[in-house]
Amino acid sequence: MQPASRLRTLGNQSHHNGGQETMAEPILIGVNLDGVLEHDGLPLPTPAERFRMVAGAGVFDYVEKNPARGEDLSPYFALVERHALPIRVIGGIWCAGRDEAHVAEIVDAGARFGSTVLNCQLYMHHADGHPLSDREVADFYLRTHERGEPAGCLPSLEVHVDMWSEDFTCIARVARHVERAGVPFRITLDHSHLLFKIGNRAELDASGLRDAADAGRRMLDPASPDAIYTDWIARGWVRHAHARSVTPNNPDNPWMRRADGRPGRGIQYPLVAPAPDAYHGAWHAEALDTWKAALRQLLQSQAHARPSRLEQISCEFIPFPDYGGGARYSIFDNNVACAHWLRDTWHALAAPPAADIARTAARFEPSPHSRPKDRTMTQAFHFSLNRMSAPRLPFDRYVALCKRLGIDTIEIRNDLDGVEIADGTPAAAVRATAEAGGVTILTINALQRFEQWNAERADEATVLADYAAQCGARALVLCPTNSRSDTRGADARHTDLVKALKALKPILDARGLLGFIEPLGFDECALRRKSDAVKGIYDAAGEQVFRLVHDTFHHHLSGEDIFFPNLTGLVHISGVEEDDLPVDRMRDGHRVLVGGADRLGNLRQLRELLARGYRGAFSFEPFANEIAEADDIEDRLRASIDYVRGELADR
Domain range annotation of the chain: 28-350, 382-633
Query: For position 10, what pLDDT does the model report?
Result: 57
pLDDT band per the 50, 70, 90 thresholds, residue 360 = very low
pLDDT band per the 50, 70, 90 thresholds, residue 38 = very high
How do residues 490-507 score in pLDDT, each as one tens digit?
999 999 999 999 999 999
Q: Is the peptide bond between 307 and the residue preceding it cis, with omega within 30 degrees of 0? A: yes
Q: What count of other Cβ atoms lies within 10 Å of the Cβ of residue 184?
A: 13
Query: For position 206, what pLDDT does the model report?
Result: 95
Rounded CA separation 333/343 (Å): 15
How do residues 376-414 score in pLDDT, each as one tens digit?
333 457 899 999 999 999 999 999 999 999 999 999 999
List the alpha helices (DSSP H) in 33-93.
Answer: 47-57, 74-83
How much is the mean pLDDT over the chain?
91
- The amino acid occupying position 301 is S
Q: Please compute the mean of the pLDDT values over residues 593-609 and round it to a whole number.
A: 96
Whether the CA torsion 206, 209, 215, 218 is positive or negative: it is negative
373/294: higher pLDDT: 294
pLDDT at 486 over 90: yes
- The amino acid occupying position 278 is A
Considering only CA atoms, which of 213, 227, 240 is closest in space to residue 291? 227
Query: For position 7, what pLDDT does the model report?
Result: 42
pLDDT at 73 over 70: yes
Backbone angles phi, psi at 64, to 5 degrees: -115, 135
How do residues 550-563 score in pLDDT, each as one tens digit?
999 999 999 988 88
Rounded CA separation 199/197 (Å): 6
pLDDT band per the 50, 70, 90 thresholds, residue 27 = confident
* Same fold for the pair 28-350 and 382-633: yes
Q: Please compute the mean of the pLDDT values over residues 510-537 and round it to a whole number.
A: 95
Rounded CA separation 409/617 (Å): 8
Query: Rg of the chain over CA atoms, in angstroms?
Result: 27
Query: For position 303, what pLDDT does the model report?
Result: 84
Is 360 in contact with 23 (CB distance < 8 Å)? no
Q: Which helix (H) or strand (E) is 464 found in, with range?
A: helix 455-471
pLDDT band per the 50, 70, 90 thresholds, residue 523 = very high
pLDDT at 19 over 90: no
Q: Please compute the mean of the pLDDT values over residues 194-216 and round it to a whole number.
A: 92
Is 326 in contact with 281 (CB distance < 8 Å)? no
Rounded CA separation 55/49 (Å): 10
Which string of b and e fits 195-207 if b means at least 16 CB within 10 Å?
A: bbbbbbeebbebb
Is 151 in contact with 112 (CB distance < 8 Å)? no
* Residues contacting residue 276 through CB under 8 Å, at least 6 positions apart: none
Q: Please compute the mean of the pLDDT values over residues 412-419 and round it to a whole number.
A: 95
What CATH number is given for 28-350 in this structure? Answer: 3.20.20.150
Query: For position 4, what pLDDT does the model report?
Result: 41
How do residues 210-248 score in pLDDT, each as one tens digit?
777 899 999 999 999 999 999 999 999 999 999 999 999
Rounded CA separation 337/204 (Å): 30
Q: What count of other Cβ atoms lies within 10 Å of the Cβ of residue 16?
A: 14
Strand extents, DSSP E, 53-142: 62-65, 87-94, 117-122
pLDDT at 14 over 60: no
Query: For position 179, what pLDDT does the model report?
Result: 97
pLDDT band per the 50, 70, 90 thresholds, residue 352 = low
pLDDT at 15 over 80: no
Query: For position 211, what pLDDT does the model report?
Result: 77
Relative to beta strand 238-243, strand 253-257 is unpaired
Is 467 in contact with 427 (CB distance < 8 Å)? yes
Is 121 in contact with 89 (CB distance < 8 Å)? no
Q: What count of other Cβ atoms lies within 10 Å of the Cβ of residue 437?
A: 18
Q: What count of other Cβ atoms lies within 10 Å of the Cβ of residue 622?
A: 28
Q: What count of other Cβ atoms lies within 10 Å of the Cβ of residue 536?
A: 25
Rounded CA separation 507/509 (Å): 6
Q: What count of other Cβ atoms lies within 10 Å of the Cβ of residue 379?
A: 12
Query: For position 350, what pLDDT does the model report?
Result: 78
How do residues 528-550 score in pLDDT, each as one tens digit?
999 899 989 988 888 889 999 99
CA dihedral 564→565→568→574, nearest 10 degrees, is: 90
Query: For position 353, what pLDDT does the model report?
Result: 53
Backbone angles phi, psi at 235, to 5 degrees: -80, -5
CATH superfamily entry for domain 382-633: Divalent-metal-dependent TIM barrel enzymes (3.20.20.150)
Rounded CA separation 348/350 (Å): 6
Query: For position 17, what pLDDT does the model report?
Result: 39
pLDDT band per the 50, 70, 90 thresholds, residue 611 = confident
Most confident of 362-366, 459-463, 566-570: 459-463
Rounded CA separation 110/118 (Å): 7
